[in-house]
C-alpha cells in the first residue's frame, strides 16, 4: 500500500559541487531528507521496475536515511534496491555497482571529507545510470522540484536488516543487501597487476581515517596483496570518524605524514577520505601534490594492465595545475579543462574522449567508473612502483626533470562570512577588465577572466566557475568559493608557478609561491575583505 505524506518545501536544498550537504541537524528536520529523495524520484524517468543502488560512507544518519530511502523507492515503483552491507558503499564502489547492475541510478550518502556525528555533516547525492554524479541540468531540475514539493510517497514496512546479506521484500520491491567490497575488489584485480605488486615486496602505510575505505583497503591491500597486518590504520568505519576530519591532506592526515618523513618510513604512504574517492600520496620523505600525482599517473599508466593500450585523453579541473597538460602534449593526446567537481568529467569519459581525470583536491580516477577513486590511485601508484622498481621520490624527480615542475598550493579561508566572501568575488569580477598589463608584487598580469566551460560533448555552457589570473611566464592564481561547505563560505585560492626542466626543481613550495601569494592578496583584497591574514588550511 502506497501512502502519501503531506509535506512542506524547503528553500535550501540546492545541490552544490557534489550533492546536497548540510548539518545533520538540518537533515533531521521533519520531511527534510524525504523531500529531497522524493524530489530526485520526481525528476527522473524510468523508475518502474528499475534498480536503484543505495550506500553511504557510514557516517551518523546513514542507516536512518537508507531505511527511509528504501521505503520511498518502493513507493515510487522501483523493482529492486541494491544496498551495501551495513549501509556501506564507497563512492567509487557505488559508481561501479550502478554500472554493473545496469541500475537507473544511485543514492550516495556522504559529506565526503567533512566531519561526521550528531552535530556535524551529512549529504545526499544522486548518481545517474553511467555511475557518475547527476549533471547540472538534472541537479537544477531537482533543485526546482525541492522548492515546490508538497508530498512524498512511502510504504509501511519494517526496517531492512542491513547487516545480513540476502534479499527481502519491501512493498513490492526487492531489497538486496550485498557485500560492498567484492565487486570493487574484482574490478581492481582486472585493472592492476596484483602479482607484480606482491612480488615487489614493498612496504606501505594506509590511513583509512576511520571512514569507508577501511574494509576495502583491508581486503585489497592486506588480504589480496599480502601487505603486513596493520598496514591499514584506522580501518574501522566509525559514525563520527573518531572525531576527526576524514580529509586526506597534510593537516588532517598528519600522523601518516610523520610516519612517511621518519627515518624508518615504509616505501609508500596513502590515505583516503570519508567516502573513499580522494587520495593522499606520500612516498618516503616525498609528498606528491594531487596535481603532480595526476600527471605522474598519466605519464606511467601504460605500465598497468588496464591502461596498456594508452590514454585517449586527460581531463583536469581548471584549478588543478597544468602539470598534466605537459604529459598530454608529450603523449599526443587531448587535455580537457573542466569546472571543479567530478560531474563534468562524466560526459568526456562516456564519449571516450578521456581516460584519466583529476582534481587538485586529491581526486584522481579513470574511465573504470564515473567517480574519483582513492584506492584506484593508490593501486596504480603501487603498480607503477612495482614495475619501475624505483622510489616515489625518484619517479617524481625524473618526472620534473622531463616535464618541469608546477609548484602548487591551495590556501583555504574557512568559515568566512558569506556576505563578505561574496563581496570579495563581486569586486574581483568587476576588476577583471582592468587587470591585464598591470604589475602586482613584481608579477605582470597577462590575462584575467572568469572561467566558463563549453562541454564539447553536448555544447552546454557552465559560467562563473572561478576567476583566473595568469601572469607572464605561466604562473597563475585562481579564486573561487567552495560549493561543499555547510556553514559560512570558504574562499579557495589556488597558486601555481611553473619551473621548466633544467630550472629550480628542488625548492621549497612556499618560497617558490611567495610572490604569487602577495599578488593574490593585492589583487583580491583577501585580508581587507575577510579580516584574515593567514589561510586556515594550506594543501
Ligand atoms: C571540493 C573540491 C572539488 C571536489 C569536491 C567534492 O569542492 O574542491 O575538487 O570535487 O569537493 O569532493 P568545493 O566546491 O568545496 O571546492 V568530495 O571528495 O567532497 O566528493
Ligand atoms: Co570524497
* 290-325 pLDDT per residue, tens: 999 999 999 999 999 999 999 999 999 999 999 999
Instruction: Please identify which of the residues 18, 90, 95, 112 carries the catalytic annotation.
Output: 112
Grade residue 467 by pLDDT with cuts at 50, 70 and 90.
very high
Q: What is the CATH number of domain 2-179?
A: 3.40.120.10
112 part of the active site: yes
Q: What burial class does residue 263 get, using C-beta atoms within 10 Å of its C-beta: 0-12 exposed, 13-18 middle, 19+ buried? A: exposed
In the predicted structure, residue 483 carries a pLDDT above the cut 90: no
Q: Where are the alpha helices (DSSP H) in 11-132?
A: 24-27, 32-43, 62-75, 91-100
For 168, phi and psi rounded to 5 degrees?
-135, 170
Grade residue 535 by pLDDT with cuts at 50, 70 and 90.
very high
- 485 Cα to the center of ligand 1, angstroms: 9
- Measured CA to CA in angstroms, residue 304 lies from 29, 190, 386, 447 at distances of 48, 10, 10, 39
**Three-class secondary structure of residue 442 per DSSP:** coil
Return the pLDDT at 487. 83
Same fold, 2-179 and 184-403: yes
Domain boundaries, the chain: 2-179, 184-403, 405-538
**ipTM above threshold 0.95:** yes
Q: What is the CATH number of domain 184-403?
A: 3.40.120.10
| Residues with Cβ within 8 Å of residue 151, at least 6 apart in sequence | 4, 5, 6, 7, 38
Contact 64, 158 (CB under 8 A): no
- 361 Cα to the center of ligand 1, angstroms: 7
- Measured CA to CA in angstroms, residue 396 lies from 19, 63, 404 at distances of 34, 42, 11
| Residues with Cβ within 8 Å of residue 252, at least 6 apart in sequence | 113, 209, 244, 245, 246
Point out the ligand nearest to the CA of residue 121.
1
Q: What burial class does residue 502 get, using C-beta atoms within 10 Å of its C-beta: 0-12 exposed, 13-18 middle, 19+ buried? A: exposed
Grade residue 62 by pLDDT with cuts at 50, 70 and 90.
very high
Return the pLDDT at 184. 98
Which cell numbers hold the place of 80? 529492486
* 239-250 pLDDT per residue, tens: 999 999 999 999
Atom of ligand 1 nearest to the CA of 18: 6
Grade residue 485 by pLDDT with cuts at 50, 70 and 90.
confident
Once rounded to an integer, what is the mean pLDDT over residues 360-375? 98
Which cell numbers hold the place of 193? 597487476
Pocket of ligand 1 (CB under 6 A): 17-18, 112-113, 273, 277-278, 317, 340-342, 359, 361, 363, 482-484, 492
Q: What burial class does residue 508 get, using C-beta atoms within 10 Å of its C-beta: 0-12 exposed, 13-18 middle, 19+ buried? A: exposed
* 151-171 pLDDT per residue, tens: 999 999 999 999 999 999 999
The class level of CATH for 405-538 reads alpha beta
pTM: 0.96
In the predicted structure, residue 409 carries a pLDDT above the cut 90: yes
Residues in the chain: 539
Q: The cell 509535506 sits on which residue?
A: 7
Amino acid at each position: 500500500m502506497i501512502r502519501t505524506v503531506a509535506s512542506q518545501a524547503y528553500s535550501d536544498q540546492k545541490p552544490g559541487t557534489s550533492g546536497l550537504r548540510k548539518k545533520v541537524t538540518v537533515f533531521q528536520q521533519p520531511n527534510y531528507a524525504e523531500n529531497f529523495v522524493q524530489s530526485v524520484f520526481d525528476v527522473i524517468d524510468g523508475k518502474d521496475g528499475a534498480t536503484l543502488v543505495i550506500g553511504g560512507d557510514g557516517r551518523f544518519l546513514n542507516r536512518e536515511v537508507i531505511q527511509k530511502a528504501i521505503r520511498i523507492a518502493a513507493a515510487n515503483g522501483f523493482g529492486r534496491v541494491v544496498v551495501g552491507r551495513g549501509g556501506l558503499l564507497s563512492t567509487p564502489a557505488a559508481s561501479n555497482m550502478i554500472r554493473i547492475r545496469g541500475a537507473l541510478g544511485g543514492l550516495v550518502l556522504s559529506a565526503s571529507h567533512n566531519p561526521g556525528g550528531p552535530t556535524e555533516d551529512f549529504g545526499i547525492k544522486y548518481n545517474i545510470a553511467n555511475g557518475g554524479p547527476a549533471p547540472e541540468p538534472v541537479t537544477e531540475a531537482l533543485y526546482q522540484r525541492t522548492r515546490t514539493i508538497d508530498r512524498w510517497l512511502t510504504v509501511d514496512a519494517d526496517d531492512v536488516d542491513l547487516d545480513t546479506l540476502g534479499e527481502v521484500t519491501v512493498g513490492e520491491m526487492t531489497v538486496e543487501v550485498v557485500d560492498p567490497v567484492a565487486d570493487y575488489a574484482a574490478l581492481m584485480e582486472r585493472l592492476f597487476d596484483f602479482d607484480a605488486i606482491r612480488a615487489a615486496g614493498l612496504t606501505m602505510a594506509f590511513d583509512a581515517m576511520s571512514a569507508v575505505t577501511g574494509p576495502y583497503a583491508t581486503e585489497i591491500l592486506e588480504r589480496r596483496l599480502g601487505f603486513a597486518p596493520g598496514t591499514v590504520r584506522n580501518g574501522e568505519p566509525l559514525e563520527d570518524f573518531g572525531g576527526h576530519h576524514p580529509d586526506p591532506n597534510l593537516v588532517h592526515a598528519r600522523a601518516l605524514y610523520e610516519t612517511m618523513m621518519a627515518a624508518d618510513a615504509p616505501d609508500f604512504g596513502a590515505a583516503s577520505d570519508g567516502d573513499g574517492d580522494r587520495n593522499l600520496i606520500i612516498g618516503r620523505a616525498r609528498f606528491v601534490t594531487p596535481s603532480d600525482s595526476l600527471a605522474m599517473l598519466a605519464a606511467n599508466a601504460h605500465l598497468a594492465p588496464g591502461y596498456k593500450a594508452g590514454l585517449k585523453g586527460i581531463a583536469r579541473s581548471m584549478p588543478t595545475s597544468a602539470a598534466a597538460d605537459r604529459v598530454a602534449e608529450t603523449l599526443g593526446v587531448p587535455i580537457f579543462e573542466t569546472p571543479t567537481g567530478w560531474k563534468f568529467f562524466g560526459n568526456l569519459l562516456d564519449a571516450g574522449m578521456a581516460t584519466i581525470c583529476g582534481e587538485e583536491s586529491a581526486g584522481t580516477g579513470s574511465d573504470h567508473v564515473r567517480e574519483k577513486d582513492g584506492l584506484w590511485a593508490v593501486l596504480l601508484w603501487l603498480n607503477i612502483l612495482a614495475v619501475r622498481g624505483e622510489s616515489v621520490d625518484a619517479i617524481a624527480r625524473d618526472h620534473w626533470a622531463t616535464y618541469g615542475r608546477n609548484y602548487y598550493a591551495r590556501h583555504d579561508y574557512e568559515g568566512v562570512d558569506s556576505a563578505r566572501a561574496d563581496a570579495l568575488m563581486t569586486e574581483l569580477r568587476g576588476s577583471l577588465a582592468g587587470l591585464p598589463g598591470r604589475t602586482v608584487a613584481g608579477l605582470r598580469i597577462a590575462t584575467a577572466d572568469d572561467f566558463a566551460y563549453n562541454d564539447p560533448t553536448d555544447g552546454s555552457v557552465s559560467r562563473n566557475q572561478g576567476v583566473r589570473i595568469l601572469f607572464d611566464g605561466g604562473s597563475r592564481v585562481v579564486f573561487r568559493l567552495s560549493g561543499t561547505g555547510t556553514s559560512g563560505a570558504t574562499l579557495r585560492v589556488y597558486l601555481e608557478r611553473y619551473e621548466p626542466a633544467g630550472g629550480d626543481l628542488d625548492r621549497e613550495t612556499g618560497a617558490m609561491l611567495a610572490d604569487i601569494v602577495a599578488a593574490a592578496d593585492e589583487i583580491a583584497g583577501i585580508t581587507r575583505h575577510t579580516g584574515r591574514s593567514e589561510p586556515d588550511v594550506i594543501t
